[in-house]
Amino acid sequence: MTPDELKKLDIELAEKEKRLVMQLEEIASKNPVISGDYEPKMPNYGNDYEENVNEASALPEIVAMTGELEQQLKEVHETREKIKVGTYGICSNCGSPIAPERLKVLLTATLCINCAQHK
């Protein structure tokens, strides 16, 4: 990729990072002890039994969504760091270039297609 393409990609990833943080802050709170970790917020629908049941049934979904958003945020951070140090587009397993077509589909790809298929 050209330097201009990498700069454009980094800007795109920075915007994605902002969106992910906003989504996370809606359903979770930053963990003050562990950097980059979020604790799911318990929904509060009210105090009667049915509302408590709704809160309890919603929690597993919130935990799963928090985990997924945290993973996406981690991948964006790692990808932006690779752009910064000049290793973006290099397979982290074998060191081969990752096909541009693969990177267009999966911006945060860390493995070439061969290594991804054998993982």
Neighbours of 109 (CB within 10 A): 20
pLDDT single digits (tens) 70-88: 999 999 999 999 999 999 9
Q: How many folded domains does the chain comprise?
A: 2
For 1-119, list the strands marked E by DSSP: 28-30, 38-40
Same domain, 38 and 84: yes
pLDDT single digits (tens) 45-54: 556 656 656 6
Same domain, 47 and 99: no
Distance from C-alpha of 28 to C-alpha of 63, rounded to nearest angstrom: 9
Same domain, 78 and 41: yes
Distance from C-alpha of 79 to C-alpha of 46, rounded to nearest angstrom: 41
Residue range of the domain that includes 115 = 89-119
Same domain, 110 and 80: no
Same domain, 50 and 93: no
Q: pTM for this structure?
A: 0.81
Same domain, 53 and 10: yes
The amino acid present at 43, given as its one-letter code, is P
Is residue 109 pLDDT above 60, yes or no?
Answer: yes
Q: H-helix or E-strand containing 33?
A: none
pLDDT single digits (tens) 55-72: 667 688 889 999 999 999
Same domain, 25 and 62: yes
User: Is 28 within 8 Å of 66 (Cβ atoms)?
Assistant: yes
